[in-house]
Chain A
Amino acid sequence: MKRIFLKNSVALLLLFGLSAVLSGCDRSAERLNLDGSMVLSPPKELPEFIFEHRDMGKFSAENLKGKWSLFFFGYTHCPDVCPTELFMLSEVMRKIEKNPESVAEVPQVVFVSVDPQRDTPDSLQEYAGYYHQSFIGTTGEQESVDILARAMGTMYERVYYLNGKQLLIDEEEGVPEGVENSYLINHSASIFLVNPEGDMHAVFSAPHNPDVMVKDLATIQRAWD
């Protein structure tokens, strides 16, 4: 959990992951008439993972079986992007609650922290649950989070600031003393849809619109069997 990822290597590595994922998208999926998402054809098998959860103890690939899940990767020290996305996802849930017929099945929303160094299962669940009581906030060992993130094609990098200037972290020297815990994380704002078999099924790229999310989700669910 203590491992510090250095900016460039991680970004490049995960960037490669994304292009690998997107190149797997089949054109035939476009026939679904989706406005804000891209379906993977075939769906992508995800690696096993075991994260921690405040109430359930564990949160693993098993918890994805039998339901649709929307995954978003972020961190609680995130001032802008994560609150924006979690609020947007809460709007999605409110729209579905108001009109349950709008989708085939209510999805579970999973907020995975890419920052287990600072986010605990407790703090994550409190944070995610604030946006919607059904939201799941979870994280695991950094390595395990990285593997899932890479498989889904999300990217992130840590950035450190000192006196208003971004620090370039030298791989040899590491992070200067005093700023070890005051980093920001740049990350992709995509939302990933996992199908009831636990495979990644579609990607919703930012910016997101709750109406489009609900509509696309319904279209994808109804086309799936």
Chain B
Amino acid sequence: MNMNISRVLSTLFLLATVFSVRAEGVMVSDPWVRAAPPNAPALAAFMSLENHSGSEVALIGVTAAAELGRVEMHRTKMADGMMKMIQQKNIPVAPHSSTVLKPGSWHIMMIGPAKVPTVGDQIHLTLSFSDGSEQMVMAEVRRGGMMMKGGGHQMMHH
């Protein structure tokens, strides 16, 4: 009984979060975590952030379950003939625009996971934005590389 009530409450809470975020302008779509070898010392999560507001909003923090390790924001950039990993303080999304986190570009990095999730697992991520909003997303673990089918621009349908 209690379980049910808490489930309903958390569902309501999740919906409320999604709707409030939508009202404030950032929409998260297609969050995913790339499947990695069971002994991988690092993981990466990707998603598309759409800013429907008239001012810049940035992703300023990401938290995940402790077993996924330390979470950081990074960007891969080609420079001096190398793919450079540059840690980011935030990931900006320009007004009425979108920033796509994808392989070879912006990404969320999870360092030193105690247990590497497997294909099909759902990873809970909490995203904090510079406008004060927070959003919880479920990122599915799937295999993938640079050329994902449908990766990036699909909208979330609720």
A residues in contact (CB < 8 Å) with B? 11, 15, 18, 76-81, 83-84, 87-88, 91, 118, 123, 126-127, 129-131, 155-157, 159, 161, 164-166, 184-189, 206-209
B44: which of A15, A76, A83, A130 is its contact (CB, 8 Å)?
A: A83
In the assembled complex, the Cα of A148 lies from the Cα of B83 at a distance in Å of 19
Kindly state whether residue B52 has any CB partner on chain A within 8 Å. no
Q: Which residues of A contact B81 (CB under 8 A)?
A: 15, 18, 155, 188
Kindly state whether residue B156 has any CB partner on chain A within 8 Å. no
A127 touches B39 (CB 8 A): yes
In the assembled complex, the Cα of A88 lies from the Cα of B76 at a distance in Å of 17
Beta-carbon contacts of B64-102 to A below 8 Å, as 1s and 0s? Answer: 000000001010101011111111010000000000000
Chief secondary structure at chain A's binding surface:
mixed
B42: which of A79, A157, A209 is its contact (CB, 8 Å)?
A: A79
B residues in contact (CB < 8 Å) with A? 34, 36-44, 72, 74, 76, 78, 80-87, 89, 103-104, 107, 109-111, 143-147
B44 touches A81 (CB 8 A): no
A156 touches B82 (CB 8 A): yes
B80 touches A155 (CB 8 A): yes
In the assembled complex, the Cα of A70 lies from the Cα of B43 at a distance in Å of 25
Most interface-central of A76, A80, A208 (chain B CB within 10 A): A80
Q: Which residues of A contact B37 (CB under 8 A)?
A: 76, 126-127, 129-131
A13 CB → nearest B CB, Å:
13
B104 touches A130 (CB 8 A): no
A127 touches B83 (CB 8 A): no
B39 touches A79 (CB 8 A): no
A183 CB → nearest B CB, Å:
10
